[in-house]
Amino acid sequence: MSDFPLDKSEAEWKAQLSEQEYKILRQAGTEYPFTGEYNKHFASGTYHCKGCGSPLYTSEAKFDSGCGWPSYDKSIAGAITYRKDRSLGMMRVEILCAQCGGHQGHVFDDGPTETGQRYCVNSAAIDFRPEEK
């Protein structure tokens, strides 16, 4: 039983996700910097959780941080849950999809916009849906 509205077994997640997606979304892994398909992606639309399809970030919030992962200065209201992460000998804030608990990455207080935040997200944790015209 999970703390999230969408609750699937590990077998269900493994059947749905690729090996890399499972490692990132369900085991808090990360992709190598500068390798994700959305790092330099700036089309208009919305980025959704790869695990459950929930909308998480808009293209208006995306910026090029130079860190090697897709970066956003905010998430869609209510879309993300935050959890302290003390792994790797440091204190960080992990960001998770509020619907399925899928690990997205981490948020840092070093963003260049008025929010001061940088949501550092794994491309394998999201899907892009273009703006409908």
Q: What pLDDT is recorded for position 132?
A: 82
Does residue 21 lie in a domain region?
Answer: no
The enclosing domain of 104 has a CATH number of 2.170.150.20
Is the residue at 117 inside a domain? yes
In angstroms, rounded to a whole number, what is the distance separating the alpha carbons of residues 85 and 82? Answer: 9
Residue 18 lies in a domain: no
What counts of helices (H) and strands (E) characterise the chain? 2, 9
Provide the domain limits for residue 55: 32-130
Quote the pLDDT of residue 3.
83
Active site residue 120: yes
- Is residue 24 domain-resident? no
The answer to whether the CB of 132 falls within 8 A of the CB of 33 is no
49, 52, 100, 120: which is the annotated catalytic residue? 120
Q: What is the pLDDT of residues 31-74, one digit of tens each?
A: 999 999 999 999 999 999 999 999 999 999 999 999 999 999 99
Number of domains within the chain: 1
Please check whether residue 26 lies inside any domain of the structure: no
- pLDDT of 93 reads 97
pLDDT by residue (tens digit) across 71-125?
999 999 999 999 999 987 889 999 999 999 999 999 999 999 999 999 999 999 9
